[in-house]
Amino acid sequence: MFRYQDGFFVNDHGKVLDIQGSVDTENRNLQMVTKTGKINQQWDLIYADQYPEEPKKGELNKDFGLYV
């Protein structure tokens, strides 16, 4: 059905998984569209058993440079 290729989920027809409206907010629909290469089509595949623990209150979130 899908393959993960260079950060994109691609189907058999060459369409990629995309966030509808190109907005990173909660409860957005996903759709299959022509690849543009924009950030709303790029995904990081992380296995659940390898996911690092979320920072706790008061700890530095290194991804964003802010304290929780």
Q: How many domains does the chain have?
A: 1
- Cα of 61 vs its chain's centroid, Å: 18
Domain that holds residue 56: 2-67
Q: Residue 8's pLDDT is what?
A: 97
**pLDDT per position as a tens digit, 6-48:** 999 999 999 999 999 888 788 899 999 999 999 999 998 888 8
